[in-house]
C-alpha cells in the first residue's frame, strides 16, 4: 500500500534565487530521515506548485511517518492526501471515499485553485462535492466549526484532497546554514540549545568535557544518549569527548579557588575553538542563559568568551528555566538530562565562586598556567565518535 503526503515548506519560500538549493536540502532531509528512522527505502519525492509530494511504498503506518515528518526542520505543515486526475468526476468520487472511515455529523468543503483554468470555480466545487458527501452519508454541511473539513487543492495537472493537516516544526533545513560546534554538558540546557541551532539550519557537532576518572563514566553515556535523541533531527554529526581531568587539576593547583569555574570554561572555549578551526566550523554554541548561574552573569560571560575569536551562539539567552524544560520535554531530551551525573565542573565547585569578575583579575589568575601546552595536551587526547546516518 502506498502513502501519499503533501509537504509545505516554511521560510525557505522567502529565499529568492537560492530557493532551489533550500528545497533540495529539504527533500534530501525528508528522504534521509525516513530511511534512518523507519528504514523506508521506497520513497519518491517530487516538487509541484511549490509543494513537495512524497510517496512511500513501504509498509509503515501514517502515525510513524507523521512522527518523523514532525522533526524535519523547514516543514511548515504536512498532510496525508489522496491524489486524483484533473476532472470533476474523480474529485467527487475521491471526496466521498475520503469520508467513508470518518465519524462526523457536520462537514465543510474548502477548495483552492492554484490553476484557475479548471472549469469550475472553487465555490462551485465546494457545492458539488458538498452535495455528493451529503447524499452519500446523510450529514449536514456547516461552514463554521464543522466536525470535519475536506480540503481540495487544484494544481496544474492533478488534484489532491485531505482532511487532516499536521504542523511541522518550522525553521530551515538542517545543513543549509553550515556547521556549528556545540559545547554539550549532559544538563538540560545545551541539548535544547542544539535543537534551536538545528532549527535554524545549522548542522551540530558536539564537544563534551568529562572528568573521568574523578567522576564516573556516566556523564559520557548521558551525552551519548542525548546526541542519539538529537540525531533524529539531523543525520550527520560528530562527537568529541575530551578527558578534562588533567587540565582541571592543573587549574585547581595553580589558580585562586574563586576563579576556578571561569578558568575551566576559558579552557573549554580555547579547546573548542582549536577543534572548530581544524574542522572548518565557524561558530560555537552553548546553553547559557543570562543570569541562570554564577558563570552566566554578563561579566563572567565576557570573561569566558574573551579567549575565543569565534562567534558564540547562545540560543537560550533570554529563556527562563521553565521554558527551557518545556522544550526539553517536547524534544525528548529531558528524561535523559535529569538523570543524575557527576559534572566536570561541579566536582570542583568552589564555595564562593566570583559572580562579577573583571578581566584583569582573570588574566592574573591564569598567569601561573602554561596555557598553550595545556590546550595542546588536551587537544591531543580528543576521543572522537562519528554519527553518520
Using CA atoms, how far residue 202 sits from 160, 187, 210, in Å, is 33, 21, 25
- Segment contacting ligand ATP (CB under 6 A): 43-51, 87-95, 117-125, 284-292? 284-292
- Cβ 191 vs Cβ 201: under 8 Å: no
Q: Is 315 in the site for ligand ATP (CB under 6 A)?
A: no
CB of 188 to Mg ion, least distance (A): 8
Q: Is 185 in the site for Mg ion (CB under 5 A)?
A: yes
DSSP string covering 102-155:
---SEEEEEEEESSTTSSS-HHHHHHHHHHHHHHHH--EE-SSS-SEEEEEEE-
Q: Is 245 in the site for ligand ATP (CB under 6 A)?
A: no
| Gap between the Cα atoms of 83 and 5, Å rounded | 9
Q: Is 184 in the site for ligand ATP (CB under 6 A)?
A: yes
- Given 258, 292, 325, 387, the residue binding ligand ATP (CB under 6 A): 292
Among positions 328-347, residues that touch ligand ATP (CB under 6 A) are 344-345
CB of 178 to ligand ATP, least distance (A): 19
CB of 344 to Mg ion, least distance (A): 9
Q: Which is nearer to ligand ATP, 154 or 301 (CB)?
A: 301
Q: Is 286 in the site for ligand ATP (CB under 6 A)?
A: yes
- Residue 184 interface partner, choices Mg ion, ligand ATP, none, CB cut-off 5-8 Å depending on type: ligand ATP
CB of 289 to ligand ATP, least distance (A): 7
Q: Which is nearer to Mg ion, 10 or 289 (CB)?
A: 289
- Segment contacting Mg ion (CB under 5 A): 68-76, 181-189, 231-239, 244-252? 181-189
DSSP string covering 310-375:
S-EE-TTTT--HHHHHHHHHHHT-HHHHTS----TTGGG--SS--SS--HHHHHHHTTTS-HHHHH
- Cβ 82 vs Cβ 162: under 8 Å: yes
- Cβ 152 vs Cβ 309: under 8 Å: no
- Cβ 287 vs Cβ 323: under 8 Å: no
| Gap between the Cα atoms of 102 and 149, Å rounded | 11
- Cβ 187 vs Cβ 342: under 8 Å: no
Which residue minimizes CB distance to ligand ATP?
187
CB of 185 to Mg ion, least distance (A): 4
Among positions 6-65, residues that touch ligand ATP (CB under 6 A) are none
Phi-psi region of 135 (alpha: psi -120 to 50; beta: other; left: phi over 0): alpha
Among positions 249-278, residues that touch ligand ATP (CB under 6 A) are 268
Q: Is 29 in the site for Mg ion (CB under 5 A)?
A: no
Among positions 191-220, residues that touch ligand ATP (CB under 6 A) are 208-209
Take residue 257 and report the three cell numbers written for it.
579557588
- Tell me how many degrees the CA angle 265-308-360 measures, rounded to the nearest 5: 70
Judge residue 181's burial from the number of C-beta atoms within 10 Å of its C-beta, 0-12 exposed, 13-18 middle, 19 or more buried. buried
Q: Which is nearer to ligand ATP, 105 or 320 (CB)?
A: 320
Rg for the chain (alpha carbons), in Å?
Answer: 27
Considering only the C-alpha atoms of the chain, give the largest distance between any 2 of them, rounded to a whole number of Å: 87
CB of 187 to ligand ATP, least distance (A): 2
Taking Cα atoms as reference points, which of 268, 263, 294 lies closest to residue 368? Answer: 263
Q: Is 79 in the site for ligand ATP (CB under 6 A)?
A: no
Q: Which is nearer to ligand ATP, 160 or 209 (CB)?
A: 209
* Size of the residue set binding ligand ATP (CB under 6 A): 19
Residues in the chain, total: 389
| Gap between the Cα atoms of 7 and 22, Å rounded | 14
Q: Is 288 in the site for ligand ATP (CB under 6 A)?
A: yes
- Given 74, 130, 187, 315, the residue binding Mg ion (CB under 5 A): 187
Q: Is 296 in the site for Mg ion (CB under 5 A)?
A: no
What is the binding site for ligand ATP (CB under 6 A)?
183-185, 187-190, 208-209, 268, 286-288, 292-293, 295-296, 344-345
Binding site for Mg ion (CB under 5 A): 185, 187
Amino acid at each position: 500500500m502506498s502513502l501519499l503526503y503533501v509537504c509545505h515548506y516554511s521560510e525557505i519560500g522567502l529565499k529568492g534565487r537560492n530557493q532551489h538549493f533550500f528545497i533540495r536540502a529539504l527533500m534530501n532531509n525528508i528522504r534521509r530521515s525516513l530511511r534512518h528512522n523507519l528504514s523506508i527505502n521506497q520513497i519518491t519525492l517530487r516538487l509541484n506548485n511549490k509543494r513537495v509530494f512524497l510517496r512511500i511504498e513501504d509498509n509503515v503506518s501514517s502515525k510513524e511517518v507523521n512522527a518523523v515528518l514532525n522533526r524535519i526542520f523547514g516543514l511548515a505543515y504536512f498532510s496525508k492526501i489522496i491524489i486524483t486526475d484533473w476532472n470533476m468526476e474523480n474529485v467527487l468520487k475521491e471526496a466521498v471515499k475520503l469520508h467513508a472511515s470518518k465519524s462526523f455529523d457536520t462537514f465543510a468543503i474548502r477548495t483552492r485553485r492554484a490553476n484557475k483554468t479548471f472549469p469550475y470555480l472553487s465555490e462551485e466545487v465546494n457545492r458539488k462535492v458538498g452535495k455528493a458527501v451529503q447524499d452519500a452519508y446523510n450529514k449536514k454541511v456547516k461552514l463554521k466549526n464543522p466536525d470535519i473539513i475536506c480540503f481540495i487543492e487544484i494544481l496544474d495537472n492533478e488534484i489532491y484532497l485531505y482532511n487532516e493537516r499536521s504542523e511541522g516544526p518550522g525553521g530551515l533545513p538542517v545543513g543549509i546554514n553550515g556547521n556549528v560546534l556545540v559545547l554539550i554538558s549532559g544538563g538540560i540546557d545545551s541539548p535544547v540549545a542544539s535543537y534551536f541551532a538545528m532549527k535554524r539550519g545549522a548542522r551540530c557537532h558536539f564537544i563534551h568535557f568529562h572528568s573521568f576518572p574523578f567522576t564516573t563514566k556516566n556523564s559520557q553515556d548521558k551525552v551519548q544518549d542525548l546526541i542519539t535523541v538529537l540525531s533524529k533531527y539531523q543525520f550527520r554529526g560528530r562527537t568529541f569527548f575530551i578527558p578534562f581531568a588533567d587540565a582541571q587539576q592543573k587549574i585547581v593547583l595553580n589558580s585562586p579557588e574563586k576563579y576556578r569555574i571561569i578558568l575551566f570554561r576559558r579552557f573549554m572555549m580555547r579547546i573548542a575553538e582549536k577543534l572548530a578551526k581544524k574542522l572548518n566550523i565557524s561558530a560555537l554554541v552553548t546553553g547559557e542563559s543570562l543570569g541562570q548561574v554564577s558563570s552566566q552573569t554578563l561579566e563572567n560571560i565576557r570573561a569566558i568568551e574573551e579567549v575565543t575569536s569565534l562567534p558564540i551562539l547562545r540560543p537560550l539567552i533570554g529563556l527562563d528555566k521553565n521554558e527551557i524544560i518545556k522544550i526539553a520535554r517536547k524534544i525528548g531530551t529531558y528524561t535523559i538530562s535529569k538523570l543524575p551525573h557527576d559534572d566536570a565542573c561541579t566536582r570542583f565547585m568552589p564555595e564562593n565562586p566570583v559572580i562579577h569578575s573583571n578581566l584583569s583579575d582573570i588574566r592574573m589568575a591564569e598567569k601561573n598556567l602554561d596555557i598553550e601546552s595545556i590546550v595542546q595536551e588536551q587537544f591531543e587526547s580528543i576521543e572522537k565518535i562519528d554519527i553518520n546516518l
